[in-house]
Structure 1
Amino acid sequence: MSDRLKGKVAVVTGAGNGVGKAMALSLAAQGARVVINDLGTTATGTGVSSEAADAAVAEVIAAGGEAVANYDSVADLAGCENLIKTAEDAFGPVDILLANAGAVMAGGIDSTDEQYKKVIDLFLNQKFWLSRLVVPGMVERGWGRIVLTASEGAMGGVGAPVFAAGMGATISLAKGLATDLKGTGVTVNVLSPGASTRTYENALPGLEAAYKAGQMSEEMWLRAKKGPGPVDHVPPIVTWVCTDAAADVTGKVFHSAGGRISVWSEYEDRNTITKGDPDENPPYTLEELDVLVPGTVLA
């Protein structure tokens, strides 16, 4: 146990298993009082149980920390509201939010409206609702940490466009919120984790199908099949960005897996062509673009 987060109140969603549980344990080890939220579903989002959250709470307490359980679904506003109320009733205002809960769900372009809504509610709306609930209090107190979980799926390399949309929107949500909150003492970052968890194992058949269909490279598939490594390598960067040492770190996407930590590149213009002053020069012709786009813009 340490005290870098002593007295802080942390909410971690999807914390009954895998990455969420590892992050909750890591925060508690630094002195945070943790609300462990988990609906208790399977990796594919079916069923409901209190066992996972209760077991994680017991583990925190056995290690000398403080924790309580919450079993609400964060895929709807009412569940998010009750989760924050649980934290406030047990420990006080929320200082740290780790919005991590997820599941393996259909995310193809053939998704029904119901499937689409389920994916977006869980992977994006959860993060918006919870952030909206805690940001005002964080700003008022002049201190707060928000970490939203996304994945490499945001890059589109594994297909699943609905899932990719939720992940990409999560990153944009975090970056926009980080900009709005600069100077308030509240930071907002994104975690793209990699760990051989039950969710990861359940996702492998879909990744293999994508590889066989030519939708992902052999290099990506071989890396996926090998697995990203133990889950205990993921939490340190998340816990660090929640400390005072990271007071100026905001709007970043961190990838943590297999003992490696990296930060994603920023959105930026690259390989630009220009005709100069647009008031003095005509637009590009298609014939010019036949040459310049493949040879320069996409080079």
Structure 2
Amino acid sequence: MGERLKGRTALVTGSGNGIGKEVALVLAAEGASVVVNDLGTDVGGEGRSSAAADGTVAEIIAAGGTAIANYDSIATPDGAAAAVQTAIDSFGALDILIANAGALVKGTLAGLQTDDGSWRTLQDLYLGQKFWLSRAAVPAMAERGWGRVLFATSEIARGTQANPVGAAVLGGGIAMSHDLANTYRDQGVTFNCYAPAAGTRTFDLYKDQMDDALRAQGVPEDQFGAFYLPPADRIAPMIAWLCTDAAASVTGQVFAVKGSEVTRWTDIADGPTIVKDADPRALWTLDELDVQVPAHLLGAAAH
């Protein structure tokens, strides 16, 4: 066991399996006391069981670490607050918050035809979770002058997956992280996001389809593994590193993590600017904008 996080307490949501579990194991191995939060649902968010959280806790304790299970739903404000309070009651404070929990909300795969119930479920699970947990945890972190907050996100947030409702919710988490990073800058609390790609239960749902596609392309079955996503444990080290003192100056960032490949997504920044007659109060005509926008704001992208 290491000691980089000795004396710290972490809450990892959705840590009964997959990426969350692997993160919890690494944090505990580095000395953190871990609250393992998990409802024990299936990949679609259905059902409920204590077995998942209890299993992770048992592994941590067997390895010599410290952990306690929590079964609250972080998709509700009361559940999120209760999960944070579990850390405080059990270990005295909460230093590390990792909002990792998620599920496949199938109704949202309909894009603009998503029904209202599925839309609200997605918001509560992916965006509400981050807000409610932060509201309960961050003020005390700032008061103590040390804290680490990480939000799970996805490639979906970049609007590349034909999933507009997912893009809105996951992109909202990134925006929230950026705002909090600026608000709490120089107060010892950092906020970052991670977009993981790993062989989790969600990947398993589509594995047969992938195998069929590889087979159709003539790929030998003994080579299928080269096309699969890396195991979930490969994601955990980068997430754990962001929780350490070594990452004290890293905030407001988004990291895509696929196995040992880590990519920092570039920041949103101002691009080209046009000002009429050097006077921001001047009024553009549409004819003028016909010329100025393609030539000076869009450049090559306009052609």
TM-score with structure 1 length normalisation?
Answer: 0.88
- Identify if the C-alpha distance between structure 1 residues 77 and 143 changes in structure 2 by more than 3 Å, giving closer, same or farther: same
Q: TM-score, normalised by structure 2?
A: 0.87
Checking the alignment, whether the CA contact within 8 Å between 1:270 and 1:297 is kept in structure 2 is no
Does the Cα contact within 8 Å between 1:271 and 1:297 map onto a contact in 2?
no
Which is worse superposed, 272-281 or 33-42? 272-281
The alignment of Structure 1 onto Structure 2 pairs a total of residues equal to 284
Q: Which amino acid aligns with 2:164?
A: P
Instruction: Give the letter for the 1:239 counterpart.
Output: A
Counterpart mapping for 1:133-212 below 5 A: 133-202=136-205
Question: Cα distance 1:74–1:288, how it changes in 2: closer, same or farther (>3 A)?
Answer: same
Q: Which residue of 1 aligns with 2:94?
A: 94
> Which one has a larger percent helix, Structure 1 or Structure 2?
2
How far apart, CA to CA, are the structure 1 residues paired with 2:87 and 2:202?
Answer: 26
- Tell me, yes or no, if structure 1 residue 296 matches structure 2 residue 300: yes
Deviations 1:137-158 (A, max 9, x none): 1011110000011111001111
Q: Counterpart in 2 of 1:231?
A: 232
Q: Please say if residues 272 and 297 of structure 1, whose CA atoms lie closer than 8 Å, have aligned partners that are also in contact.
A: no
CA distance 1:294–1:146, shift in 2 (3 Å): closer
Q: Which amino acid aligns with 1:199?
A: T
Q: Which residue of 2 aligns with 1:211?
A: none
Q: Which runs of 5+ in 2 are unaligned?
A: 211-225
Please report how far the alpha carbon of residue 297 of structure 1 lies from its aligned counterpart in structure 2 after TM superposition. Answer: 4.5
Distance 1:21 1:247 in 2: 24
Letter in 2 for 1:53: A
Secondary structure of 1:191's counterpart equals strand
Higher mean displacement: 71-80 or 227-236: 227-236
- Output aligned runs, 1:1-299, within 5 Å: 1-105=1-105, 106-107=107-108, 108-202=111-205, 226-270=227-271, 277-278=278-279, 282-283=284-285, 285=287, 287-288=290-291, 292=295, 295-298=299-302
Task: Kindly indicate whether the alpha-carbon contact (under 8 Å) linking 2:274 and 2:292 is maintained by their aligned counterparts in 1.
Answer: no
- Distance in 2 separating the partners of 1:298 and 1:269: 18
Using the TM superposition, give the Cα deviation of residue 201 of structure 1 relative to its aligned residue in structure 2, in angstroms: 2.7
SS in 2 for 1:40: coil
| 3-state SS in 2 of match to 1:11 | strand
Three-state SS of the structure 2 residue aligned to 1:245 is helix
Contact 1:39 1:48 in 2 (8 A): yes
Render the CA deviation track for 1:269-288: whole Å, top value 9, x for unaligned: 33556655145684452642
Residues 290 and 61 of structure 1: is their aligned pair in 2 closer, same or farther, counting only changes over 3 Å?
Answer: closer
- Residue matched to 1:216: none
Contact 1:44–1:202 under 8 Å retained in 2: no
Identity %: 46
- What do you get for the CA RMSD once the two structures are aligned? 2.5
What is the alpha-carbon distance in structure 1 between the residues aligned to residue 208 and residue 159 of structure 2? 17
**Structure 1, unaligned stretches of length 5 or more?**
208-224
